[in-house]
Amino acid sequence: MVLKESFRMQNHLSDLSQRALLFLSKTENVLKVKEEHLRNKSYSGAENETIEVQRETEMTADNVIGLYLDLLSEREKLAEAVGKAKTKAGYDIDAAICMNKAKQDAISRFRPLAALQSTQRDEEGSGYLINSEGNQSEYHYTIRSIKTIDFDREALRGIIKRLQRESDEVSAKIDMTNVTLEVEYEPAYDTGDSFEDAYEKFINRK
């Protein structure tokens, strides 16, 4: 399988593992229920009866535990195979992905800055003065608010273009690696398997 398929398989094995843990977290799946109907205690002519309550599923806790451990083993094998495959890529894929994310974060922050405009707005202010007669009177005046860009916007726009170009180039490189780099792993389960399918495959391999 190629790297992209291995990532899909990793996610699927993780999902199946969670399904196994969910199964084991439900008490009705891990406990036997036996009902003893003690009728004879109330009526001497009645017969007592013991009923084994049937589960809704034929899956057993022991087998699901075994399935979970098998899935865990498969996840370890696949992780190791992916790690080995990545060393053959010719570059550090994880570092490239990390840096690409950092560049995309920077671009998303820089773009609003690059779109800022210098502005000027007039507002009305007021004050009080004492006239020649000693009376206080209010007067009004203009407050001019001038906001000016305090960084090199053109330089920032150039930085955005450069970061976007570098990010696109690395993304294309990673995309190509994902569909061409072979991972040496033979899957025990298929990505299309349901939890029930995986359980059946595990039982058949026991």
Of 4, 43, 5, whose CA–CA distance to 189 is shortest? 5
Cα gap 6→151, rounded to integer Å: 46
Rg of the chain taking only CA atoms, in angstroms: 35
For residue 122, the SS3 value is: strand
Question: How does pLDDT run along the chain (206 residues), one tens digit per residue?
Answer: 999 999 999 999 999 999 999 999 999 999 888 888 888 888 888 888 888 888 888 999 999 999 999 999 999 999 999 999 999 999 999 999 999 999 999 999 999 999 999 999 999 999 988 887 888 888 899 999 999 999 999 999 999 999 999 999 999 999 999 999 999 999 999 999 999 999 999 999 87
> CB 51: neighbour CB atoms within 10 A?
10
Cα gap 58→40, rounded to integer Å: 33
Cα gap 81→77, rounded to integer Å: 6
Tokens representing 83 are 């790690």
Write down the H helix ranges in 41-128.
61-86, 93-114
